[in-house]
Structure 1
Amino acid sequence: MVVLMRIVIAGGHGRIALRLARLLHGRGDEVAGIIRRPEQAGDVSAAGAEPVVCDLESAPVADVAGHLAGADAAVFAAGAGPGSGAARKDTVDRAACALFADAAEAAGVRRFVVVSAMGTDGEPPEGTDPVFAAYLRAKGAADADVRSRAGLDWTVLRPGRLTDEPGTGTVALAASTGRGPVTRDDVAAVLAALLDTPETAGLTLELIGGNVPVDKAVATVAG
């Protein structure tokens, strides 16, 4: 039986975050989406989440912790996005994740799920585009920071190449999957299942499209 929760999503206007909010709201969870700009609020509300305007590049930890008060889980799904330079890869993909983790610890929210990326554990290959290399380094540093925190029951999810095709409901989920595409719908479905499965705390998982139903894939890695 699914226990209804309050979940706060950082990067609430992102395409994965909006899909996740719809899923969680649809099953009865209470969802808040942290956004940087007020004009993003309509899309967040339409997804069934409470929009919370808070700039994670500049907000004090205490303010963010206030938004997390009473939550059962926090999901970091924020990113600097296409067109941003190397500096914002660091301030959003790394520093904002660390701030959100600090705030979760301060608010007593132990369950913490991060949407990361593949290829972030080592140095980017020679010849990698400098901005993309900065993104990979920022994600890797954020993952390492979160995984070092004894105060969080963390799970790091590393999807493959993201697509906007309709979700299939079937995936490949493991510590290492190899590279491949995965729909944003299926990423959101896996995130929802991870939130329901506390036994996945402490795991770093890769995710691509596959042939295993989402719930079974999550249960397998949890077991």
Structure 2
Amino acid sequence: MATIAVVGGAGQIARHLHPLLLAAGHRPVALVRRREQADELGALGVDSRLLDLEAAGHDEFVAALEGADAVVFAAGGGADGDPERKRTVDLEGSLKSIAAASALGVDRFVQVSAIGVDAPVPDDTPEVWRAYVEAKRAADVALRESDLAWTILRPGGLTDDEPTGRVTLAADVERSEIPRADVAAVIAAVIDDGRAVRQQWELVGGQVPVLEAVTAATTT
């Protein structure tokens, strides 16, 4: 049984991920901002630790990740709202998680990013979207440059549709949508898969079962 710290543990992708990790025999530990979130997840059998991604410093991140065998960074300030939160959550939250994992020797790190963030941002891009793309891009660069055993997943437009269990997964895919539950299924599939280490994939809905898609992506 591996202990897997899920940063952004009360988020929508994380809520789909926790039961998948439990079913696989792992122990998810949700890092959450508020006590009521911890209580809610505890009622579902998920352990939690309190961590304010924006306010916490290095030592608090280290304490929150203590004992973890792997980290999933699934936090996000969203693609709308306050542009400043793209920096403090999507970028700085990731950077602090990477630094804490490195300090603890927690090697495995899976990061949820976003499709197409390496592409140039047009001059007329709204401020919030620009901040979101730039934060995700910079977080991915930092993780790729680390010594961690990383995997970066870049889903397309996220929906709350029912999971299909079928995806399109490759270095570059045509932009489309994907249910959050299917993103969680891919995270659960790659977390233990050594073939996925140091791989960056885009991810949208498709016709290939998740495990087959991961296998195909690792052999191309």
TM-score, normalization: structure 2?
0.95
Give CA deviations for 1:161-220 in whole Å, capped at 9, x if unaligned. 111111111100000111011111110000000102122111110000111110011112
Name the amino acid aligned to 2:171. A
Q: Is the Cα–Cα contact under 8 Å of residues 19 and 47 in structure 1 kept in the other structure?
A: no
1:69, distance to aligned residue in structure 2 (A): 2.1
Give the equivalent residue in structure 2 for 1:138: 135
SS in 2 for 1:70: coil
Name the amino acid aligned to 1:213. P
What is the alpha-carbon distance in structure 2 between the residues aligned to residue 39 and residue 72 of structure 1? 26
2:215 is aligned with 1:219: yes
Give the equivalent residue in structure 2 for 1:105: 102
2:18 is aligned with 1:21: yes
Name the amino acid aligned to 2:120. E
1:80, distance to aligned residue in structure 2 (A): 1.4
What is the alpha-carbon distance in structure 2 between the residues aligned to residue 44 and residue 71 of structure 1? 18
What is the alpha-carbon distance in structure 2 between the residues aligned to residue 133 and residue 43 of structure 1? 34
2:193 is aligned with 1:197: yes
Give the equivalent residue in structure 2 for 1:33: 30
What is the alpha-carbon distance in structure 1 between the residues aligned to residue 118 and residue 78 of structure 2? 20
Structure 2, unmatched stretches of 5+, are: none
1:184 corresponds to which of 180, 184, 198: 180
2:146 is aligned with 1:117: no
Give CA deviations for 1:62-96 in whole Å, capped at 9, x if unaligned. 22112222211100000113653111110110011
What is the alpha-carbon distance in structure 1 between the residues aligned to residue 43 and residue 79 of structure 2? 24
What is the alpha-carbon distance in structure 2 between the residues aligned to residue 159 and residue 169 of structure 1? 14
Name the amino acid aligned to 1:157. L
Give the equivalent residue in structure 2 for 1:128: 125
2:80 is aligned with 1:80: no
Give the equivalent residue in structure 2 for 1:61: 58
TM-score, normalization: structure 1?
0.94
2:204 is aligned with 1:208: yes
Q: Is the Cα–Cα contact under 8 Å of residues 21 and 47 in structure 1 kept in the other structure?
A: no
Give the equivalent residue in structure 2 for 1:153: 149
CA root-mean-square deviation: 1.3
Give CA deviations for 1:97-138 in whole Å, capped at 9, x if unaligned. 000000000111010000000121133223222111111101
What is the alpha-carbon distance in structure 2 between the residues aligned to residue 176 and residue 205 of structure 1? 7
What is the alpha-carbon distance in structure 2 between the residues aligned to residue 60 and residue 218 of structure 1? 35
Identity between Structure 1 and Structure 2 (%): 44
Q: How many residues align?
A: 219
Q: Is the Cα–Cα contact under 8 Å of residues 160 and 207 in structure 1 kept in the other structure?
A: yes
1:30, distance to aligned residue in structure 2 (A): 0.6
